[in-house]
Structure 1
Amino acid sequence: MTTQHFHNGTIWLGAGAQTEDSLVVQDGTVVASGSHAVAAVLDQVSSHDGAEFESIDLDGGFLMPSFGDGHAHPIFGGMEAEGPQVRSCTSVEEIIAEVKRYAEAHPDDDWITGASYDGSLVRDGLFDAEWLDRAVSDRPVVLRAWDYHTVWCNSRALELAGITAATPEPQIGEIPRRDDGSPLGTLREWGAIDLIDAVRPPHHDSVRLRALDRAADYYLARGVTWVQDAWVEPADVETYASASQQDRLKLRFNLAFYADPRRFTQQLPEMLSARRRIEELSDPFLTAQTVKFFADGVIENETGALIEPYCSSLHNHGMRVWEGDSLAEAVREVDAAGFQIHIHAIGDAAVRQALDAIEYTIRNNEARDRRPVIAHAQIIDSADLSRFAELGVIANMQPLWAQLDDLMTVLTVPRIGRERAVAQYRMRSVLDSGGHLAFGSDWPCTSGAPLEGLAVAVSRQTDDGEPDGGWTPEEILDVERSLDAYSAAVAHQAFADQRPDEWGVIRPGASADFIVLDSDPRTLLPQELSDAPVRRTYLRGVAVHSTD
C-alpha cells in the first residue's frame, strides 16, 4: 500500500465546505482530511512495516479537486498543431503568408488543411477563395474558422468538391456567393462543409493519435482530468479505441456520438455498437454514454436559431437543424437506449426546442437519472429559465465567452442588437432559479484553460479589465461557485458519483484527482486568476503534470 500525506497548504474541499490543512491518500484514493482524521490514519501507517509513504509538502499552495471540461473537442484541438499555423494570425495577409510558407515547406502534401482562423478579421466573416489562391493555386487549401462551423477554401478545393454557381444550397448549410452566383470561398455549417469532406482524404491514424496525445498534455497542464468530447464520429471512435488499446489515454474521456438528422435512423444502431465496443475495452479512462445533437448553428454566422429575427432581416430567424418534432423524437429514442442527452443550442429558439425535446422525452420514457445537458445556452428566453430546474437540465456554459471581446462586439452584437446582447450567458440566473450549471470550454474554439474562463465568470471583463464593473454584472459569479462549476458540477454531469473511482470532490472514497495552485484563487483579482499557473495535476494520486 502506498500512502501520501499532503500538508502545509490550503485544501479546499468544495463550495460551501471548510478548508483543511492536511489530507491522506492511499493507493490513489482519498482516505482522510483534517488534522485529527489524518493523524489517526498516519498512526496506523507507521505501525505497518514495509508500507510506502510519501510526504508531499504543498509549500503554502492551494489544493482542490481537479477540473473537468464539460464540452470540448480534443481531437480538433490536437490537430491544430498540424498544417499551417493560422490561429495567431491577426490579418488576412498574415494568414496568406503562413499558408504560403507551409505549402512551400511541404511540397508533397496533396491537400493543405489547417485551423483555426479568426472569423472576425473580415466583415460578416466572409472570406474569399481568391485570397487563398494568392498563397496556393495548384493544390486545395481548406482552413477551419475558430467557430468550427465555418471553413475557408481556395478555388482548387471548391473545384475538386464540385461546388459551382449551379450547386444548390445544401440541407443544414450555406454557400455564400458572389453577385454572379459563384461560390465565394466560405462554407457555413456541416451541410456545406460535408461537400469538401467528401473529397478530402482523411488524416492517417497516427496523426490523429498524435493529436489526441497532444490534447491530453494540453489539458493536464491546465488541471483538467476529465473531458466531454462533444462531437464524435466513427473515425474518432477508432482513434479513442486505438489509444486505449495502446495504453495511451492520459486522462478520462467521455464520448458523445454525433446525431445527424439526415441519417439518424441508420446512426442509432451504429451508436449502440460503438458504445458496446468502448465498454468491452473496460478502460476506466474511457466511456461512451452520450449522444450529441445540434439544435442550431452559431450567431456569428446567423445560423443560431432565434425567436425574434436577426437585425439584418425581418424574416431571418436562423437555422433549425431538426425540423418539426424530429428532434424530440430522436432525443426520446436515444434516451430510451440509455444514452445521456447533450444538445448544442445557441439561440433562444434552439434552447426552447431543446427543452421541449427533453420534456417530451421525460413524459414518454421511463423515469431514470438522466442529467440531460444543453450546451452553450447563449440566449435563454426568460419564459424558459425556470425549465432548466424543472426538467433537471444541466446548462453547460462557456464562461470565457461572457465578455465584450472582438467576437462579441464585431460579430455578435451587430447581429442580435443591444437588447438581446445583454441577455446572453445567464449563468447566475440559471443557478439562482435552481438549475444546474457546469462549465466547459468548447476548446479549440476558445481556450481550454479553466482558470481563464473562471477569470471571466467572476468579473465579466476582458483581460484589460473592461468594462468597469463588468459586462452584465448581475450575472457575475463568486469564485467558489465558479470553481465548483468547473469541478464538482462537471463531475455531476459526468455521473462521476456512480463510478467506483468518483472524482470532482475531495472526500473519503473518492479518487485522488487534484490540482495544486501557487495561490488561493479566492484571494486573487480576475486578471491574476487568469494567469495563475497550475503547479501540479494529480490523477489517481499520480502527479501527471508538474512544474516543480
Structure 2
Amino acid sequence: MSVAAQVAFRNGSIFTGSGQPLANHVALVNDGKISAVLDEAQAAAFINDATEVIDLDGALLAPGFQDSHIHPVSGGTELLQCNLSEADSVQEVVDTIAAYAAANPELEWIVGGGWSMDHYAGGAPLASLIDAVVPDRPVALASRDHHSLWANSEALRRAGITAATADPADGRIERLEDGSPAGTLHEGAMGLVEAITPELTEDFALAGLLKAQDDLLAQGITGWQDAMINEYNGADSLAAVYQRALAEGNLKVRVRGAQWWKRDQGLEQIPGMIALREQAAALEMPERYSLGTVKIMVDGIAENFTAAMIEPYRDKCGHATENKGISFISAEDLATYVTALDKEGFQVHFHALGDRAVRDALDAVAAARAANGPSDNRHHLAHLQIVSQADAARFVELDVTANLQPLWACHEDQLDELTLPFMPHSAQDRQYPFGEIAATGARLAAGSDWPVSSANPLEGSHIAVNRISPENQSVPLGGEAQCLSLKAILAAYTSGTAYVNHLDEVSGHIAEGFAADLVVVFPNPFEVPAEQIYKSQVRSTWIDGQCVYRAADLPEPVNAR
C-alpha cells in the first residue's frame, strides 16, 4: 500500500474475526476493501486530509455480523402485517388483532404472526379468543417459531377442518374435548389453512425483504443465509424477489439462499434445484447472491413434542409416553437424499433439533462422505437443542459446522414450562450443549432464526457467554461448561458464518484484501463485565467501505487527521 486511505478507523480496538482484539491499531480502507491493519504509528503515513477518519472513541470495530439461519422475507412481511411480536400478554395479543382488523377493513383475511407459546395453556391458543374480536373474517397467525398456526373459527370452517379431520402424518391438530379443532395447528397441519390463505405477491415480498434489510443493517448484519428461499406463503420461489432486489440495486447485503426440500417429494426435486442454482450463478454476482444450499427439515420442535428424540417424551405426571417426536424424513431416505445432493455439489443445511434428528443428519453426512469422498460443500446442522454425548464429537469427524441459535440457550418460560418438564430424563441436562461441541474443535456458525427470536447478534452473544438472560437471577442453562467465550461467539457470527456461506475469502475478517463489511459496537463488549454484554449497541454498519447505517445520535464523521 502506497497511497492514502480513503477511510480510516482509529482510536478503538479491532476484532479481526478470530482471537483477541487488537488494541491501538487502525483499519484502512480503499476501494471498498481493507487495505491494511496497522498500528497507529505505521498508519499515520497513510492518512491525509482526504481520508475520512472514523474516530471509534473506544468502540470495537468488527467484521459485519452474518446470520447463518434467518428468514428475512417472512420476518419483514410480518412486520408489515398483523405483528404480534411486541405483545407481552394474551390481552395485548387480542387487542393487537382487534386494532389491526379495525384499521384494515378491506382485507378479506387477517394474516401475520409473532405470538409466543408461553402465553397460552399448553402453548396452544384457542380460536374463541380471536372469534371474540374478529368473528366474520378468517384469521391465520403464525407462532413466533413458525411451527404452529393459530386460526379463528371462520378460517377453520373455510379450510374444512372438523372433528372428523385426521391429523396429517407430519403434524397435529389441537382439539377440544369433543374432538373439534381448538384453533392451533402444529407443523404439517398448518398447511390445511395455509393452502387457502392469500398468496404472497412479489411486490409485497420485496417490500418485506427491504424492510427486513433495513432492520438487520441497524443490528450490524451485513450478510445471511436465508433458510427458506422458496415455498413461503404460496410463493413458488423467493429467488425472483432477491433477483429483483439485485436488479433494482436495492440488495445491499450478501446472501446465500437455501432452497427448500419438499418432504413429500424425493430425488426428482434435484434437477430443478440445479436449474435455480445455475440461474443465480448466471447473474455473476456470487459475492452478493448464490443458491448453492438445500435446507432439509429433519424434525419439528420440542414445545409441541415434534422434535425427534431418541427416548420418548414424558407426560404431565412425568411418565414416559410412546411419543418420540416426528422424523419428517426417514433416516434411510435422508441418507439417500443427502448423498445425492452432496454429489451435485450442494451444501445441506439441516434443521435438527432433537437428538435423534441430529444423529440422523450426521449419519446422512457420513453416508455422503462414504459414497462421494471428502468435499468442500460445508454441510451444517442448525438449532441443536439436544445432542447426545456420543454425537457431539462427530461434527469434527465429519467436518460439519454446528449452526447455533444462542439466544435460546437460557432458562425462560417457554423452555421451563413447555419443554423441560416433558423431556426425557437423558435430555434434561443436555439443552443446547454449545460449550461441549466447541470443546471438540468443531466449526461454529451463529444465527437467529428471526423472526422466531431477535436477530440481534449482541443479544445472542450475551446469552452464549452467560447462558442467562439479561437481569435474570437464574443459573446458567446446562452449567458453566456450556458457556462460550466472547471471542468464540463473535467468531461464529463473523468468520464462522462467512465460512458456511462460502464467503470466507471475501468477508468475515478484517484483513488485507477482504471486503470492508464492518460494524462499530459501543461500548466495546470485550471491556465490559460479561453480564453487561447485551448493553453494547451498534453505532454504524458498513458494506464495501460505505456506511449503510448510522445510529441517530451519532454525528456525521469529519474528514480530519
TM-score, normalising length from structure 1? 0.94
How far residue 494 of structure 1 moved from its aligned partner, in angstroms, is 1.3
CA distance in 2, matches of 1:324, 1:208: 35
Alpha-carbon displacement from aligned partner over 1:473-510 (angstroms, at most 9, x marks no partner): 11111211121111111111112134xxx111111111
How far residue 41 of structure 1 moved from its aligned partner, in angstroms, is 6.3
Aligned CA distance change for structure 1 residues 266 and 41 (closer, same or farther; 3 Å): farther
Alpha-carbon displacement from aligned partner over 1:161-206 (angstroms, at most 9, x marks no partner): 12122222213111122222221111100x2112212111112222
1:23–1:38 CA contact under 8 A, matched in 2: no
Q: Which residue of 2 aligns with 1:507?
A: 511
Does residue 196 (structure 1) correspond to residue 181 (structure 2)? The answer is no
- Secondary structure at 2:387's aligned position in 1? coil
Q: Which residue of 1 aligns with 2:82?
A: 84
1:428 to 419, 423, 435: 435
Runs of 4+ in structure 1 over 6 Å off: none
Q: Which residue of 2 aligns with 1:149?
A: 147
1:347–1:379 CA contact under 8 A, matched in 2: yes
CA distance in 2, matches of 1:262, 1:38: 61
Which structure 2 residues correspond to residues 255-270 of structure 1 after superposition, within 5 A? 255-270=257-272
Alpha-carbon displacement from aligned partner over 1:95-117 (angstroms, at most 9, x marks no partner): 22221221121111011001110
How far residue 418 of structure 1 moved from its aligned partner, in angstroms, is 6.1
- Secondary structure at 2:74's aligned position in 1? helix
Q: Which residue of 2 aligns with 1:296?
A: 299
Q: State the AA in 2 paired with 1:302.
A: F
1:391 to 398, 419, 424: 398
CA distance in 1, matches of 2:13, 2:323: 53
Which structure 2 residues correspond to residues 29-178 of structure 1 after superposition, within 5 A? 29-35=33-39, 38-39=42-43, 42=46, 53-178=51-176
1:532 to 529, 536, 541: 536
Q: Which residue of 2 aligns with 1:310?
A: 313
CA distance in 2, matches of 1:5, 1:355: 45
How far residue 52 of structure 1 moved from its aligned partner, in angstroms, is 5.4
CA distance in 1, matches of 2:481, 2:322: 32
2:135–2:154 CA contact under 8 A, matched in 1: yes
Q: Which residue of 1 aligns with 2:449?
A: 442
Q: State the AA in 2 paired with 1:160.
A: R
For the aligned residues, what is the CA RMSD? 1.9
Alpha-carbon displacement from aligned partner over 1:443-502 (angstroms, at most 9, x marks no partner): 11000000001011111112223225665211111211121111111111112134xxx1
Q: State the AA in 1 paired with 2:10.
A: H
2:495–2:504 CA contact under 8 A, matched in 1: no
1:344 to 339, 345, 351: 351
CA distance in 2, matches of 1:532, 1:381: 34
Q: State the AA in 2 paired with 1:85.
A: N
Q: State the AA in 2 paired with 1:275.
A: R
Q: State the AA in 1 paired with 2:443.
A: H
Structure 2: runs of 5+ lacking an equivalent: 231-235, 555-561
2:84–2:114 CA contact under 8 A, matched in 1: yes
Alpha-carbon displacement from aligned partner over 1:250-298 (angstroms, at most 9, x marks no partner): 2111100110121234422221221122222223421111000011000
Q: Which residue of 1 aligns with 2:219?
A: 222
Q: State the AA in 2 paired with 1:352.
A: R
Does residue 11 (structure 1) correspond to residue 9 (structure 2)? The answer is no
- Secondary structure at 2:212's aligned position in 1? helix
1:32–1:41 CA contact under 8 A, matched in 2: no
1:295–1:322 CA contact under 8 A, matched in 2: yes
- Secondary structure at 2:67's aligned position in 1? strand
Aligned CA distance change for structure 1 residues 83 and 6 (closer, same or farther; 3 Å): closer
- The alignment covers a number of residue pairs equal to 538
How far residue 73 of structure 1 moved from its aligned partner, in angstroms, is 0.7
Higher mean C-alpha displacement, 315-324 vs 464-473? 464-473
Q: State the AA in 2 paired with 1:246.
A: E
CA distance in 1, matches of 2:343, 2:45: 46
1:309–1:317 CA contact under 8 A, matched in 2: yes
Greater relative CO, 1 or 2 (CA 8 Å, sep 6+): 2
How far residue 75 of structure 1 moved from its aligned partner, in angstroms, is 0.8
Higher mean C-alpha displacement, 517-526 vs 341-350? 517-526
CA distance in 1, matches of 2:20, 2:174: 53
2:311–2:424 CA contact under 8 A, matched in 1: no
- Secondary structure at 1:176's aligned position in 2? strand
CA distance in 2, matches of 1:418, 1:207: 46
Aligned CA distance change for structure 1 residues 146 and 10 (closer, same or farther; 3 Å): same
Aligned CA distance change for structure 1 residues 328 and 40 (closer, same or farther; 3 Å): same
CA distance in 2, matches of 1:37, 1:229: 42
Q: Which residue of 2 aligns with 1:236?
A: 238
Q: State the AA in 2 paired with 1:322.
A: I
CA distance in 2, matches of 1:371, 1:402: 24
How far residue 136 of structure 1 moved from its aligned partner, in angstroms, is 1.1
CA distance in 1, matches of 2:136, 2:495: 52
1:247 to 229, 246, 249: 249
CA distance in 1, matches of 2:45, 2:405: 40
1:32–1:38 CA contact under 8 A, matched in 2: no
Q: State the AA in 2 paired with 1:3.
A: Q
What's the % identity of the aligned pairs?
Answer: 36
CA distance in 2, matches of 1:463, 1:471: 17
CA distance in 2, matches of 1:193, 1:465: 34
Higher mean C-alpha displacement, 277-286 vs 98-107? 277-286
Alpha-carbon displacement from aligned partner over 1:277-322 (angstroms, at most 9, x marks no partner): 2222223421111000011000001000000000124210000000
Q: State the AA in 2 paired with 1:424.
A: Q
1:274 to 273, 276, 297: 276
CA distance in 1, matches of 2:321, 2:237: 41
TM-score, normalising length from structure 2? 0.92
Q: State the AA in 2 paired with 1:267.
A: Q
How far residue 442 of structure 1 moved from its aligned partner, in angstroms, is 0.8
CA distance in 1, matches of 2:175, 2:197: 22
Aligned CA distance change for structure 1 residues 328 and 231 (closer, same or farther; 3 Å): same
Aligned CA distance change for structure 1 residues 469 and 126 (closer, same or farther; 3 Å): closer
Q: State the AA in 1 paired with 2:480.
A: P
Alpha-carbon displacement from aligned partner over 1:376-410 (angstroms, at most 9, x marks no partner): 11101011111111000101011111111111111
